[in-house]
């Protein structure tokens, strides 16, 4: 008599290909929505030591533009003041963007950018997965506008920042309880965004997915990981 007993199936892990497809679908939808993905006017909160001329230079706009958009008669601003900057970073060229590492050094590269081997399969990766303990600080890799901050099934909270020069970065997964930025907010390079979260799949090691895109196409994020 044929044995019909079947061994219990092991829990299935989230496959990198599935996560890749989810991220690609999200980014395609956002790109199709046009330059102003979220529909929110970019907002800059004045920091300690800021001047209107410094802010204009940092965001790639003119003083006249800042004055007009915020009904400023004089160049007097104060810490905590929120300025509307609808054309932030639009005039920047790719070489104008300055990068920094979004997480502390020392993490092992779990998945590289591009094709990589997993068992007998050759899989694509649009970013790099860097190992780090849950709760690791994640900082802005460059000045930019937060365009997306939302939970994605199988991935966790995905944060997307538009930097100008046709560059966009993608960071995930972040702990929603620690995120201190919102869509439309302008962040500066090195500013704390939040802390890393545990991976959605119990089979995955804690990590940060770091992705860099130019003209809506994935490019090597190496310049973010020095």
Confidence of residue 125 (pLDDT cuts 50, 70, 90): confident
Q: Express each pLDDT in 49-92 by its tens digit.
A: 999 999 999 999 999 999 999 999 999 999 999 999 999 999 99
Where does the chain show beta strands of DSSP type E? 43-45, 82-84, 109-111, 116-118, 121-123, 128-131, 137-139, 144-152, 156-164, 167-174, 186-187, 192-195, 207-214, 217-219
Examine domains 16-41+95-224 and 43-87 and report if their fold is the same: no
CATH superfamily for 43-87 is LysM domain (3.10.350.10)
Calpha distance 89→81 (Å, rounded): 20
Domain boundaries, the chain: 16-41+95-224, 43-87
- % of the chain beyond a pLDDT of 70: 80
**Predicted model pTM:** 0.83
**CATH fit for domain 16-41+95-224, picks 3.30.70.100, 2.70.70.10, 2.30.40.10, 1.10.287.110:** 2.70.70.10
Q: Do residues 27 and 33 touch, judged by C-beta distance below 8 A?
A: no
- The single-letter DSSP state of residue 58 is H
pLDDT, residue 31, reads 52
Q: Express each pLDDT in 9-62 by its tens digit.
A: 443 344 454 555 556 555 655 554 444 454 579 999 999 999 999 999 999 999
Calpha distance 226→211 (Å, rounded): 14
Q: Do residues 85 and 69 touch, judged by C-beta distance below 8 A?
A: yes
pLDDT, residue 121, reads 77
């Amino acid at each position: 008599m044929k044995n019909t007993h079947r061994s219990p199936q092991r829990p299935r892990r989230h496959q990198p290909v599935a996560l890749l497809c989810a991220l690609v679908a999200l980014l395609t939808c956002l790109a199709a929505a046009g330059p102003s993905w979220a529909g929110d006017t970019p907002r800059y909160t004045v920091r300690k030591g800021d001047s209107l001329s410094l802010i204009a230079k940092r965001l790639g706009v003119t003083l006249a533009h800042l004055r007009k958009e915020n009904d400023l008669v004089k160049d007097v601003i104060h810490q905590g003041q929120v300025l509307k900057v609808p054309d932030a970073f639009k005039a920047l060229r790719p070489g104008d963007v300055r990068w920094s590492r979004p997480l502390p050094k020392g993490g092992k590269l779990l998945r590289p950018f591009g094709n990589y081997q997993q068992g007998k399969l050759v899989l694509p990766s649009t970013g790099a997965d860097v190992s780090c303990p849950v709760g690791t600080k994640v900082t802005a890799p460059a000045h930019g506008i937060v365009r997306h901050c939302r939970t994605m099934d199988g991935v966790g909270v995905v944060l997307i920042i538009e930097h100008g020069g046709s560059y966009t970065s993608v960071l995930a997964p972040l702990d929603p309880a620690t995120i201190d930025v919102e869509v439309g907010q302008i962040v500066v390079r090195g500013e704390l965004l939040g802390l890393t979260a545990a991976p959605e799949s119990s089979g995955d090691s804690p990590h940060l997915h770091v992705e860099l895109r130019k003209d809506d196409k994935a490019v090597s994020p190496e310049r973010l990981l020095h």
